[in-house]
Amino acid sequence: MPLVAHTPLPTFDLLKAQGEEILELGQALHQDIRELHIGFLNLMPNASFQATERQFLRLVGSSNQIVQYYIYLFTIDGVERDEKTQNYIDSYYTTFDAVKNSGLDALIITGTNPANPSLEQEPFWDPLGEVIDWATKNVTSVLCSCLAVHAIVKHLHDIERKPLERKRWGVYSHRITHSKHPLLRNINTRFDVPHSRNNDVSPEQLQAAGFKILVQGAESGVHMAVSPDMFKIVYLQGHPEYDRVSLLKEYKREVDRYFRGERDSYPESPENYFSSDIDKIIQGYKPTLIQAREKGEKMPIFPEAEIEPLLDNTWRDTGKSIFDNWLGLVYQLTNIDRHLPFTHGIDPDDPLKIK
């Protein structure tokens, strides 16, 4: 069943225009269907704030469970906001206090761009810790993405992420490593996932803390893992929510940064993402931009319009299936009264069994 447009959030209209099924509040109230109330903690920087919101809401709305999805979007202090983004938050987002009072069945936490060498130095560290501590006691399952993974394993298990020698950036092949877990029901044994990060939590670190690794790639490392209880926290180091053009737009931002002198070298292309035809376009554009930079001329128009039709999305269907399985388990395991504690879950010794 669809997302319920219970607020005037513009993303609901955008998704509806793109063909997604969105249920108006009046329709929802007249249907005798169970609801799931899902929090969405958006920590993303200004440039990708609304795009990330749209991407995750699309994945939730694509789930096939017979349920109405109410999404409660909020953010926390400690992430720098420009005026436009802050106005958007003030208009369409709620607060963590309101979320705590109403209760949630599940929670999604996005990543963000760190500004300090240590996560504990980030201004959002303490507010995020408060959310994590509340959610682990009051929410059936928390799904976290990218930097949120690193922050939560540090906060709960004192696992320290490690810097990568070079940015892990591109689309990588992955394999299922624990096929019996219900989160992976009807998933291909091998599939692609985009990654974009400068740090890593290794399989050895997670396994030492009792985590179960579900999906891993030879080049990318761990994509998906679950907490020792098998479901309370789902960790995604990759980005199944990405649009087909997300890495292209990130690449374009890095090219812009190079031209403005904010980075010393022209950026490398995301791995396994650009086809040979796209590489030819990039190699034709690169010397033109470098020459303009050296001469102090205006930046040549980036060939985004030429590149975009040549891009492929090889991860969307698998991402939808994983979210479908996750929300299906939340549906089975959550207490209908969200003010009552979580009392049952997945048996770690037999993941197919609900205890």
Q: Quick check: is 294 catalytic?
A: no
CB 76 within 8 A of CB 41: yes
DSSP H or E stretch at residue 3: strand 3-5
Strand order in the sheet with 141-145: 22-24, 3-5, 68-74, 35-41, 106-109, 141-145, 233-236, 221-226, 212-217, 162-176, 190-200
What does each C-alpha distance from 162 to 157, 201, 203, 300 come to in angstroms?
15, 6, 12, 37
Q: Which of 150, 181, 223, 239 is catalytic?
A: 239
Q: What are phi and psi of 176, to 5 degrees?
A: -70, 135
Q: Quick check: is 150 catalytic?
A: no
Q: What are phi and psi of 226, to 5 degrees?
A: -130, 155
Q: What are phi and psi of 216, to 5 degrees?
A: -145, 150
Q: Which of 53, 122, 241, 254 is catalytic?
A: 241
What does the alpha-carbon distance between residue 344 and residue 225 come to, in Å, rounded to a whole number?
20
The CA-CA-CA angle for residues 81, 60, 212, to 5°, reads: 95
CB 111 within 8 A of CB 146: yes
Which residues 6+ apart lie within 8 Å of 287 measured at CB?
Answer: none
Longest dimension (CA), the chain: 68
Q: Quick check: is 146 catalytic?
A: yes
Q: Which of 146, 155, 195, 223 is catalytic?
A: 146
Catalytic residues: 146, 239, 241
